[in-house]
Structure 1
Amino acid sequence: MIHDAAGDVATLCLDLDISKADPAVIDVDAARLGVLLTSCGLQFVEDVSPSGGRHLYVPLAERIPGADARELVDALARIAPSLDPSPHQNPTTGCIRVPGSLHKRGGHQQLTTPLTAAYDVLRRRNTPDDLDKLRRALAPELRRGREEAARRARLATAPQPALRVPTGPNGIARRPSGWQSPLRRTAETGLYDTAKYRTPSEARMGVLNHLAACGWTLAQVRGELTGQFPGLAALYQSTRQLDRLLETEWGKAIEFTATSRGKNTAPKSDTSPTQPTRGGKEKPSAAAIHQLVNDLENILYAVLDARFQKLGREGLGLRFLIRGVLAYMRTMETNTLDVGCRTFALALGQHHGTVARLLRRLAELSDGMVTKIADAHHRNADVYLIELPEQHRQLARDLTWRKGKIHAVRPVFRALGPAAALAYETIERARLSPTAAEVARDSKIGRSTADRALAEMAALAMIHRDDAGHWHLTHTTSLAQLARRLGADSDVAAQLTLHRRQRGQWHAWLDRHNPDQHITESDIYDPDTAEHWLPPDDDSIASLMPSRRPRPCRST
Structure 2
Amino acid sequence: MVPEPVLTSTHALAGVAQRPRPEDAWSLAPLIAGAPSYRLGRWIGQRFQYPRPKNAPKITRSLPGQPAAVMVHGPDGRVSTLCLDFDTSKALKGVVDSDAVRVGNLLSACGMRFVEDFSPSGGRHLYVPLHDRMDAAEARELVEALALMATSLDPSPHQNITDGCIRVPGTIHKSGGHQTLITPLSQAYDILRRRNAASALMELRSALAPELTRKRALKARAAKTVAGQRNGILPALSLNAGSEAPLRKVARTGLYDTAKYKSPSEARMAVLNHFSACGWSLQHVENELAGQFPGLAALYGSTERQARLLPYEWAKAQTFTNTASSTQKPLPRKHGEKHALINNTSQTLTTGGAGESSSAAAVHQLVNDLENVLYAVLDHRLQARGREGLSLRFLIRGLLGYMRAKETDILDVGCRTLAAAMGKHHVTIARLLPVLVQASDGILTKIADARQKAADVYLIQLPEQYQQLARELAWRKGKIHAIRPVFRALGDAAALVYEAIERGRYSPTTAEVVRISGVSRNACSAALAEMEALGMIQRQDGTWRNTSVNLRMLAARLGVLDDYLDHIRRNRHERAIWHSYLDRFKTLQGVITEGELFDPERDEYWPPPHDAAVWHLPQPA
Instruction: Return the TM-score normalized by structure 1.
Output: 0.90
Q: In the TM superposition, what is the alpha-carbon distance from 1:398 to its structure 2 partner?
A: 2.3
The residue type equivalent to 1:289 in the other structure is: V
Q: In the aligned structure 1, how far is the partner of 2:84 from the partner of 2:385?
A: 50
The percentage of aligned residue pairs carrying the same residue is 58
Unpaired runs of at least 5, structure 1: 168-172, 546-556
Of stretches 496-505 and 434-443 in structure 1, the one that deviates more from structure 2 is 496-505
Aligned position for 2:557: 485
What are the within-5 Å matches in structure 2 for residues 297-376 of structure 1? 297-376=371-450
- CA drift at 1:257: 2.9
CA distance in 2, matches of 1:435, 1:165: 49
The correspondence for 1:273, drawn from 349, 352, 355, is 349
Q: In the alignment, what sits opposite 1:529?
A: 602
Cα distance 1:275–1:301, how it changes in 2: closer, same or farther (>3 A)? same
* Amino acid of the structure 2 residue aligned with 1:212: S
Contact 2:421 2:616 in 1 (8 A): no
Match of 2:188 among 118, 138, 143: 118
2:572 matched residue in structure 1: 500
Q: In the aligned structure 1, how far is the partner of 2:402 from the partner of 2:372?
A: 17
Contact 1:264 / 1:519 at 8 angstroms: preserved in 2?
no
Partner Cα distance (1:506, 1:301) in 2: 38
What amino acid maps onto 1:486 in structure 2?
L
Question: The residue matched to 1:232 in structure 2 has which SS?
Answer: helix
Range with greater deviation from structure 2 (215-224 or 133-142): 215-224
How far apart are 1:405 and its partner, in Å? 2.5
Contact 2:485 2:616 in 1 (8 A): no
CA contact (8 A) 1:440 1:450 kept: yes
Bigger mean CA offset, 251-260 vs 72-81: 251-260
- 3-state DSSP of counterpart to 1:527: coil
The residue type equivalent to 1:287 in the other structure is A
Q: Which residue of 2 aligns with 1:541?
A: 614
- Counterpart position of 2:251: 187
CA separation in 2, counterparts of 1:290 and 1:521?
A: 38
Residue 539 of structure 1 deviates from its aligned partner by: 2.3
Q: 1:228 to 1:521 in 2, by over 3 A?
A: same
Q: Counterpart of 1:247?
A: 311
Cα displacement string for residues 335-377 of structure 1 (whole angstroms, at most 9, x for unaligned residues):
1112122211112212222222222222222111011222333
User: Which of 188, 199, 209 is the matching residue for 2:263?
Assistant: 199
Could you say what secondary structure the match of 1:530 adopts? coil
Amino acid at match of 1:19: S
Post-superposition offset of 1:266: 4.1
Contact 1:494 1:532 in 2 (8 A): no
RMSD: 2.4
SS of residue matched to 1:529: coil
User: For residues 349 and 225 of structure 1, do their structure 2 counterparts lie closer, same or farther at Cα, with a shift above 3 Å needed?
Assistant: same
2:491 pairs with one of 413, 417, 427: 417
Going from structure 1 to structure 2, the CA distance change for 1:472 and 1:304 (only over 3 Å counts) comes to: same
Over 3 Å counting, the alpha-carbon distance change for 1:166 and 1:345 in structure 2 is farther
Q: Residue 103 in 1 paired to residue 167 in 2?
A: no
How is 1:135-174 mapped onto 2 (pairs within 5 angstroms)?
Answer: 135-158=205-228, 159-161=230-232, 164=235
- Given that residues 61 and 127 in structure 1 are in contact (C-alpha distance below 8 angstroms), is that contact kept between their aligned partners in structure 2? yes
Structure that is richer in helix per residue: 1
Q: C-alpha distance in 1, partners of 2:317/2:419?
A: 30
Which secondary structure does the structure 1 equivalent of 2:183 belong to?
Answer: coil
Residues 411, 492 of structure 1: 8 Å contact kept:
no
1:220-258 deviation line (CA, Å, top 9, x unaligned): 110111111211011113222212221222222223334
- State the Cα deviation string for residues 155-187 of structure 1 (Å, max 9, x = none): 3344343872889xxxxx8x645x422222211
Shift of residue 489 of structure 1? Answer: 1.4
Cα separation, 2, equivalents of 1:382 and 1:407: 24
Match of 2:531 in 1: 457
Q: Distance in 2 between matches of 1:524 and 1:164?
A: 27
Partner amino acid for 2:445?
T
Q: Secondary structure at the match of 1:254?
A: helix
Q: Aligned letter for 2:114?
A: F
Contact 1:214–1:533 (CA<8 Å) still a contact in 2? yes
Q: Which position in structure 2 is the counterpart of 1:236?
A: 300
Q: Please say if residues 289 and 330 of structure 1, whose CA atoms lie closer than 8 Å, have aligned partners that are also in contact.
A: yes
Contact residue 478 and residue 538 of structure 1 kept, 8 A: no
The CA distance in 2 between the partners of 1:155 and 1:508, in whole Å, is: 28
CA contact under 8 A between 1:370 and 1:387: conserved in structure 2? yes
TM-score, normalising length: structure 2: 0.81
Q: 1:433 to 1:284 in 2, by over 3 A?
A: farther
- Post-superposition CA distance 1:199-237 (Å, at most 9, x none): 111111121122223322211110111111211011113
Instruction: After superposing the two structures, state which structure 1 stretch, 397-406 or 142-151, moved more.
Output: 397-406
Q: What residue identity is the alignment partner of 1:24? A: G
Aligned residues: 534
| SS of residue paired to 2:602 | helix
Question: Residue 84 of structure 1: CA displacement?
Answer: 0.5
- Match among 41, 49, 54 for residue 111 of structure 2: 41
Partner of 2:63: none
